[in-house]
């Protein structure tokens, strides 16, 4: 599935699921911030002009519509990734030694981006992390939505109130990833082109 033209970096299913995921994350984060503002558990609220939905009811409608896009699109992404073998050969092996070496290179500005078809160890870890984080967001969201219907999941996450915090911190990690991701795209702009036209 991912094979074929050697110069193709990202197959079409990857590009489509990437951009649909970007839309879903934008809608979910902005509407989620409005929901958080209705009963903030920290000393701050999110500025209203960064939120989506207008009022709590509108934000909830956006959140519980966009969740279907995130989940359905995510399942297609994971299925294509696993069945095509891309998951295995793009993200593994992932050794701590290579990770440290690539991290040092990255921070000293010596990390090579000569071959965009290969992920370096930092990228591998970052992408695997954000996949796991998205799974955690979905599972904690499921507990907040249906706490009585998913008792095992609810207790694993520490109960309803703890799950609110888990959902919030998982969101924060996702937003932090997006921030770094966008900086990296700005530093290496041809990665953006590759995610649009595939090469």
Partner 1 sequence: MLKNFSRHFVISNDVVLKDVRKDIGRYVADSSRRAFLQRSLTLGGLSLLSGCDIVDENSVDTALSTISRFNDRVQGLLFNPSHLAPTYADSMITRPFPFNAFYGEDQVVVVDEADYQLEVGGMVADKRTWTVAELRAMPQIDQVTRHICVEGWSAIGKWGGVPFANFLQRVGADLSASYIGFKCADDYYTSIDMATALHPQTLLALTYDGQTLPPKYGFPMKLRMPTKLGYKNPKHIKAIFVTNTNPGGYWEDQGYNWFGGS
Q: Is 34 in the site for partner 1 (CB under 8 A)?
A: yes
Q: Is 95 in the site for partner 1 (CB under 8 A)?
A: no
CA distance 58 to 56: 5
Look up residue 175 and give its two tokens: 């937003």
CA distance 68 to 66: 5
Out of 30, 80, 134, 157, name the contact with partner 1 by CB under 8 A: 30
Q: Is 33 in the site for partner 1 (CB under 8 A)?
A: no
Q: Is 39 in the site for partner 1 (CB under 8 A)?
A: yes
Q: Is 46 in the site for partner 1 (CB under 8 A)?
A: no
Q: Is 128 in the site for partner 1 (CB under 8 A)?
A: no
Nearer to partner 1, 40 or 179 (CB): 40
Q: Is 118 in the site for partner 1 (CB under 8 A)?
A: no
Q: What are residue 151's phi and psi, to 5 degrees?
A: -65, -40
CB 35 within 8 A of CB 67: no
CA distance 104 to 149: 46
Out of 49, 96, 109, 114, name the contact with partner 1 by CB under 8 A: 49
The residues, any chain, with a CB within 8 Å of residue 115's CB and separated by 6 or more, are: none
Out of 68, 75, 88, 179, name the contact with partner 1 by CB under 8 A: 68
**DSSP letters spanning 8-49:** -SS-HHHHHHHHHHHHHHHHHHHHHHHHHHHS-SSS----GG
Stretch that binds partner 1, among 6-14, 45-53, 96-104, 127-135 (CB under 8 A): 45-53
Sites of contact with partner 1 (CB under 8 A): 30-31, 34-39, 41, 45, 48-49, 51-62, 64-65, 68, 144-149, 151, 159-161, 164
């Amino acid at each position: 599935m991912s094979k074929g033209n050697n110069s193709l970096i990202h197959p079409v299913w990857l590009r489509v699921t990437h951009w649909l995921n970007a839309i879903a994350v934008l809608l979910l984060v902005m509407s989620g911030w409005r929901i958080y503002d209705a009963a903030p558990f920290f000393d701050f609220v999110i500025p209203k002009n960064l939120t989506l939905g207008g009022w709590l009811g509108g934000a909830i409608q956006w959140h519980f519509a966009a969740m279907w896009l995130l989940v359905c699109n995510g399942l297609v992404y994971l299925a294509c990734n696993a069945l095509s073998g891309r998951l295995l050969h793009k993200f593994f092996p992932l050794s701590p030694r290579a990770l440290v070496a690539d991290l040092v290179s990255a921070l000293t500005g010596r990390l090579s981006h000569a071959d965009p078809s290969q992920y370096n160890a930092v990228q591998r870890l970052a992408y695997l992390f954000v996949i796991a984080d998205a799974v955690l967001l979905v599972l904690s969201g499921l507990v907040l939505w249906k706490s009585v219907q998913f008792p095992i999941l609810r207790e694993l996450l520490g109960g309803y109130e703890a799950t609110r915090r888990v959902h919030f911190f998982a969101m924060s990690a996702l937003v932090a990833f997006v921030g770094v991701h966008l900086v990296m795209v700005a530093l290496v702009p041809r990665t953006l082109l590759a995610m649009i036209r595939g090469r």
